[in-house]
Amino acid sequence: MSSDLIFQPIAQLAVALDAKKISSVELTRAVIARTRAVDTRVRAFNSFDEADALAQAAASDARRAAGQARGPLDGIPIGLKDVIAVDGQPLTASSKMLANFVSPYDATVTTKLKNAGAVLWGRLNLDEFAMGSSTENSANGPTSNPWDLTRVPGGSSGGSAAALAAGEAIATLGSDTGGSIRQPAAFCGVVGLKPTYGLVSRYGLIAFASSLDQIGPFARTVEDAAIVLGAIAGHDERDSTSFKTDIPDYRAELAARRGPWKLGIPKEYFGEGLDPEIGAAVEQAIAFYKKQGCEIREVSLPHTRYCLDTYYVIATAEASSNLARYDGIRYGHRSKHATDIVDLYFQSRAEGFGAEVKRRIILGTYVLSSGYYDAYYLRAQKVRTLIRQDFLNAFREVDALLTPTSPMPAFKIGEKADPLALYLCDIYTIGVNLAGLPGISVPCGFTQSGLPIGAQIIGQPFQESSLLAIARAYEQAHEWNTRHPIL
């Protein structure tokens, strides 16, 4: 019975909970049992609190018994990436710098999930401070891909994707700065949604690059992603970048919005470096939409070739600024070997940060330094404007864009020791963050060796309803999301 529960989507579980066929305690126990059984191999969790989760589940069952259920998320165990604050729970960013830190408050998305009745379940592993594409840069060690434990789950939200794929949560939250939701979703064969910048509050999210970061859901189905997005979206005065806009019923909009649509195929995303099996799978997805009556147009995003350089100037500059607060004084790791105050800064940061975080801080400090600011950071911001304009120009002709999510399937742990090789994993996703757009990765096949493949759909700003409907049309005609890894 428990194995049946853990792989069911939220939409089905909510019906079963309302009909009293199952209880939230039963569902939560099934998730806990699964986590105990497989997480020693998957290593998706940094920590979890079984007693707290069961207490939340019991409270949900009591509400439902009293006729006070709060909607489809009430009683559903949802895991959170360990950069999202939960009052009284560890908040480590998978870093030695915050190894013993416990959050004193809730992130806005945490409060919203609590208000929706969700059971908050565990702290999920990630690349340290969300800097990476493989979840190998974690101070807690790498997470494994449930489809092949010798391979990475993607990153930086690898724990969130792997936990969902392995049946250790019913849905999860991650954060996406340059593809950190969509790429691991593709690697692990689940749905991953990066909302429009400003749609979901960043209050309570440990900052990496503040103009790029956005919280979003991992889910088994597009419908589930719509349900979770509806719960966490909305304006928040505590986030100065939060946008005031009406939040529709994304789930209801799935049924209301039907094609055919005009879909753009960016020619720059189908060239050198794309794995042939992934290219073939995405081409089949394009053929599906064409068969459904969608108009398929080739479009050009001419500044795509500058995306990687632009991203790694802007993201590292903002990381350098955001991570300056970790100095061994107020909170976080404090060196026991320092001889004076200046040495305390040096030693604490040297001991607390891992190699990739240090690399990005150094690069970001360099591009912001006197004499280089105009040459690098300011120029990158100008190119960012051109990249965004490319997308807006394309959207004058089409409703959305269809691309691969990643140029390659999940690779072996330790295979890409060169940082530049890892950076290239995000080549199809970073433009979406630079332009502040919504993007979703949906399963669209498997390689001959059994590794998941994801297709990315890129939508217009704040048009998540259309984006989700386009993705749902493909998902409903295929059964990729019904396959689960055998552990």
* 81 a catalytic residue: yes
| Closest to 39 (Cα-Cα) out of 163, 129, 208 | 163
* CA dist., res. 182 & res. 171, Å (int): 14
- Residues near 408 by beta carbon (within 8 Å), at least 6 away in sequence: 275, 278, 425
Cα separations in angstroms, 183 against 174, 189, 441: 11, 10, 8
* CA dist., res. 20 & res. 223, Å (int): 22
Cβ atoms of residues 185 and 452 within 8 Å:
no
* 201 a catalytic residue: no
Residue 283 amino acid letter: E
* CA dist., res. 438 & res. 315, Å (int): 18
Given the residues 81, 112, 194, 416, the one annotated as active site: 81
Given the residues 156, 242, 320, 348, the one annotated as active site: 156
Given the residues 103, 134, 175, 180, the one annotated as active site: 180
Return left, alpha or beta for 20; rule: phi > 0 is left, psi -120 to 50 is alpha, else beta.
left
Question: Tokens 């051109």 sit at which residue?
Answer: 386
* CA dist., res. 232 & res. 173, Å (int): 10
Cβ atoms of residues 177 and 360 within 8 Å:
no
* CA dist., res. 63 & res. 79, Å (int): 21
**DSSP labels for 312-335?**
HHHHHHHHHHHGGG-SSSSSS---
Cα separations in angstroms, 281 against 286, 294, 427, 446, 480: 9, 18, 18, 8, 12
- Residues near 335 by beta carbon (within 8 Å), at least 6 away in sequence: 328, 343, 344, 347, 348, 350, 351
**DSSP labels for 218-231?**
EESSHHHHHHHHHH
Cβ atoms of residues 134 and 70 within 8 Å:
no
Q: Catalytic residue positions?
A: 81, 156, 180
